[in-house]
Amino acid sequence: MVTVSMDVKTQDRSGDSGAGSRMAAEVAEQPLAVQRTLDALLPLRGAVSELAQGRRRVLFAARGSSDNAAVYGRYLLETRAGVLGSLLSPSVATHYRASLDLSDALVVCVSQSGATSEIVDTQSWAGANGAATLAITNVEGSPLAEYADLALVTRAGPELAVPATKTYLTQLVAMAVLGTALAPDPTVLDAELARVPGEVERLVREPHGVDAAVGALRDAAYAVVSGRGLMMGTALETALKLEETCLRPVRGYSYADLRHGPISVVTSGMTAVLVAAPDGPLLAPMAELADDLAARGATVVGIGGDPAFADACAVHVPGPELPEALAPLGAIVPAQLIVEGLARELGLDPDNPRGLAKVTATDPPQPKENP
């Protein structure tokens, strides 16, 4: 197991440039948060496997950043465990109150606070419809954890900055535990999982390219973020953080969706952020996308990938040296550093973005009509 340095807890993005930002401090706490979460959750893989016995599919219910973590969980289950996964719309439970046969489903409800009423209600609804329920939350004793059949409680510690950083990353760790628990060989990625805390620490300590990426986004008239496959959740989370923390209009696209039509509006003045794993079947297409976007006049900022991908980008920020299946656990770190730096560059408070709160509040459910 990699030993994580204790002094990383107070390491800022670069020198004293992140001084005063709680978000930067919490990004720097992530190596220890990941290690604690691995230590707590890996022993629960047997219980996860037992809970999923006889269940043919896994449904994820979440909102916001938790929803992006679920996208990673879905891809990991389908590509590594051979288990069908999909995203469940909470409104089906809370507003439509549909009656579904979920007797063949494991429903995974994800909420960092464990107190988002819509997700808590969805979990209750899923159980009433025959599902086995698994909660992923950062708060032990929260309603979500208390009433699930099994809870994977992450060990991020209290998160004071409003943007989710360490709670999001530890949710990804929980997804990796879930995905490996249901795989034919649950231990197949253990050696690489053990390297994740060290890779996260390295990315925090060596933020190469982050300042250049901040400059490219600061000067952009418009921005898009794209990824594909296992990196899709990372792209969506990066776009969400840029929008909510930096108050910039940003669209998150899958590679395929961007290629399908929106690429036609890419012109000079636009910055495109592409996230890529260092290996896997989608790496070469992401490098080709970088070339195409650059030819259309966009400034391309690349996170991760390999040397060919880096060469295709105007600005490159190194990512983790982890296999594609686990690359999202490291690739989000430079994205977080970019977001934090850009917010400060724009004169914004990254700790308290306008209009956000730690507990997601959606509109209340509507009363069910009488037949």
Asked if pLDDT for residue 270 goes beyond 70, the answer is yes
Structural fold of domain 202-345: Rossmann fold (3.40.50)
As a whole number, mean pLDDT of residues 41-51 equals 98
- Map residue 31 onto helix, strand or coil: helix
The pLDDT value recorded for residue 11 is 38
Confidence of residue 19 (pLDDT cuts 50, 70, 90): low
Q: Among 62, 50, 41, which residue's Cα sits nearest to residue 132? A: 50
Residues 6 or more apart whose Cβ sits within 8 Å of residue 195: 2, 321, 322
Residues 6 or more apart whose Cβ sits within 8 Å of residue 191: none
As a whole number, mean pLDDT of residues 289-303 equals 95
Asked if pLDDT for residue 288 goes beyond 50, the answer is yes
As a whole number, mean pLDDT of residues 39-57 equals 98
Asked if pLDDT for residue 242 goes beyond 90, the answer is yes
Dist. CA 230–CA 80, nearest whole Å: 11
Dist. CA 214–CA 64, nearest whole Å: 23
Specify the higher pLDDT residue, 360 or 168.
168
Asked if pLDDT for residue 366 goes beyond 50, the answer is no
Q: How far apart are the first and last CA of the chain?
A: 59
Listing DSSP states for 153-216 in one string gives E-------SSS-SHHHHHHHHHHHHHHHHTSSSTTTTHHHHTTHHHHHHHHHH--TTHHHHHHH
As a whole number, mean pLDDT of residues 297-315 equals 97
Asked if pLDDT for residue 5 goes beyond 50, the answer is no
The pLDDT value recorded for residue 368 is 41
Asked if pLDDT for residue 18 goes beyond 80, the answer is no
For the segment 178-203, what is each residue's pLDDT rounded down to a tens digit? 999 999 999 999 999 999 999 999 99
- Map residue 150 onto helix, strand or coil: strand
For the segment 118-143, what is each residue's pLDDT rounded down to a tens digit? 999 999 999 999 999 999 999 999 99
Asked if pLDDT for residue 20 goes beyond 50, the answer is yes
Asked if pLDDT for residue 150 goes beyond 70, the answer is yes
Asked if pLDDT for residue 356 goes beyond 90, the answer is no
Q: Quick one: tokens of 288?
A: 């080709």
Dist. CA 84–CA 105, nearest whole Å: 10
Answer whether 60's CB lies under 8 Å from 163's CB: no
Confidence of residue 261 (pLDDT cuts 50, 70, 90): confident
CATH 3.40.50.10490 positions along the chain are: 6-195, 202-345
Dist. CA 263–CA 55, nearest whole Å: 40
The pLDDT value recorded for residue 63 is 96
Helix or strand (DSSP H, E) at 267: none
Mean pLDDT, the chain, rounded, equals 91
Confidence of residue 346 (pLDDT cuts 50, 70, 90): very high
Specify the higher pLDDT residue, 17 or 233.
233
Q: Any alpha helices (H) in the chain, and if so which ranges?
A: 22-28, 30-41, 45-51, 64-76, 90-94, 117-128, 143-147, 166-181, 190-193, 196-205, 210-218, 232-246, 255-260, 283-295, 307-311, 328-345
Under DSSP, the state recorded for 221 is: S
As a whole number, mean pLDDT of residues 309-322 equals 98
As a whole number, mean pLDDT of residues 299-307 equals 98
Dist. CA 80–CA 15, nearest whole Å: 40
CATH number of 6-195: 3.40.50.10490
Residue type, 197: P
As a whole number, mean pLDDT of residues 291-301 equals 95
